[in-house]
Amino acid sequence: MALSYGVVEGWEQLPGGYAHRDVAGVAIDGEDRVYLICRGDHPIIIYDRKGNFLGSWGEGQFTLRTHGITVGPDGLLYCSDDGNHTVRKFTPQGKLLLTLGTMDKPSDTGYDGKSTATVSKAGGPFNRPTNLAVGPKGELYVSDGYGNCRVHLFSPTGELKRSWGVPGQGSGEFFLPHGIAVAADGRVFVCDRENDRIQIFSPDGEYLSEWTDTRRPTHIVFDGAGRAYVSELWWQRGRRLAATGRRATSSRVASASTIATAGCWRAGAGRIRRRPAASRRRTASRSTRRATCT
C-alpha cells in the first residue's frame, strides 16, 4: 500500500516567550515525545505527539551550532554540537552522562574554519561533528563533519574503535559527511552532502555501494518497515554539482536539514524523499511541522 502524507498545520504549540531561530534536529522517543535541538536560548524543546509543549533544557550548555539529536534504543539522547566539537549523551531530563570528543578542541584536518573544501587530511574525533546513529548492538557511529571527512565508530561506552574516510569524491571518500543512519542489518548509510550521494558501508566501514539520485542529502532515517527517508537541500543557481560537474539551474535555496519518523516529522524547508527499493519524491513546506502518514 502506498503511503500518503499531509501536513498538520499549527502542530507546534510554542509557549509565550519562547522562540527558535533554527531547528537543527528532531527525534522521537518510544513514548512519542518529540525532541527538537535548536539554535537559540532554549536548545532542547520537548513536545508530546499532539504538539503540546512539555518543557525545555540545555540552556547555557550548547553553542549556537547545535546540529543533530538521536534517541537511542534505551531512550537516552545523543546531541551533536559542531560549535564545541562534541557529541554528548543525556537523559531525557537533561542530565549529562557521556561526552565524545574534547570540548572546544577540534582535530587537525587543515580546515580553515570556514570552508569544508579546505579539509586536506583526515583527523580524529572531532572537527565540527554533525550527527550520530546507534547500531543494532549499541555501537555509536558519528559523521564528522564540516571540518573533517570521517565516520567514527565508538563502543556503547564511548571507546573509539575505528574511523574511516579521507577527503575526496571516490568510494569511501567524503566531502561533508552530514547525516548518518544504521539499517536493521547493520549497514551504515552516510549522507555525503557535497558529493550529492549516500554512501553505504558494512558495520566495520567497508564500502559497499552508494545512492546517487539525491542532491545535497542532509539526513537519513529508517522507519520500522525499513523504508529510508532522506532530507535534502537545493542547489543555488550557478553552483556546480559535485556528482555531475554541471551547474544548477534552480534558483531556489532551501534548508531541509533533518527528519525523524514516528509517523513522519520534519523541520526546515526543502525536499523529503522516501526510498523503499526505488526513490520517490515528496515535497513539504516551511517550518517545524508534523506530517501524518497514512
Q: What is the pLDDT of residue 287?
A: 46
Question: Span 121-128, mean pLDDT?
Answer: 98
Q: What is the pLDDT of residue 286?
A: 33
For 40-91, the pLDDT digits (tens) are: 999 999 999 999 999 999 999 999 999 999 999 999 999 999 999 999 999 9
- Terminal alpha carbon distance of the chain: 10
Q: What is the pLDDT of residue 199?
A: 98
Q: Who has greater pLDDT, 80 or 250?
A: 80
| Coil, strand or helix at 159 | coil
Q: What is the pLDDT of residue 240?
A: 58
- Residue 14 predicted with pLDDT over 80: yes
3-state secondary structure 207-227: EEEEECCCCCEEEEEECCCCC
Report the alpha-carbon distance of residue 294 to residue 276 in Å, rounded.
16
Residues of the chain above pLDDT 70, percent: 79
The residue behind cell 573533517 is: 148
Report the alpha-carbon distance of residue 26 to residue 37 in Å, rounded.
6
Question: Span 126-152, mean pLDDT?
Answer: 98
| Mean pLDDT score across all residues of the chain | 86
Question: Span 253-269, mean pLDDT?
Answer: 50
Question: Span 202-230, mean pLDDT?
Answer: 95
Report the predicted TM-score, pTM, of the whole model to 2 decimal places. Answer: 0.86
Q: What is the pLDDT of residue 275?
A: 54
- Indicate the length of the chain as a whole number: 294
Q: What is the pLDDT of residue 20?
A: 82
217 strand-pairing partners: 232
For 27-42, the pLDDT digits (tens) are: 999 999 999 999 999 9
| Coil, strand or helix at 266 | strand
Which regions of 5-52 does DSSP assign to beta strands (E)? 5-8, 23-28, 34-38, 44-47
- Residue 219 predicted with pLDDT over 60: yes
Nearest alpha-carbon partner for 128 in 189, 25, 115: 115
The residue behind cell 560549535 is: 83
Q: Do residues 57 and 106 make contact, with C-beta atoms less than 8 angstroms apart? A: no
Report the alpha-carbon distance of residue 280 to residue 55 in Å, rounded.
36
- Name which of 10-14, 217-221, 232-236, 243-247 the model is least confident about: 243-247
Question: Span 127-149, mean pLDDT?
Answer: 97
Q: What is the pLDDT of residue 2?
A: 77
Report the alpha-carbon distance of residue 210 to residue 175 in Å, rounded.
14
Report the alpha-carbon distance of residue 117 to residue 168 in Å, rounded.
9
pLDDT confidence bin for 241, thresholds 50/70/90: low
- Residue 293 predicted with pLDDT over 90: no
Report the alpha-carbon distance of residue 129 to residue 217 in Å, rounded.
16
Cell of 182: 544504521
Q: Which residues contact 57 (CB under 8 A, 6 or more apart)?
A: 43, 44, 93, 94
- Residue 250 predicted with pLDDT over 60: no
Q: Give the side-chain half-sphere CA count within 13 A for 74.
A: 12
Report the alpha-carbon distance of residue 276 to residue 273 in Å, rounded.
10
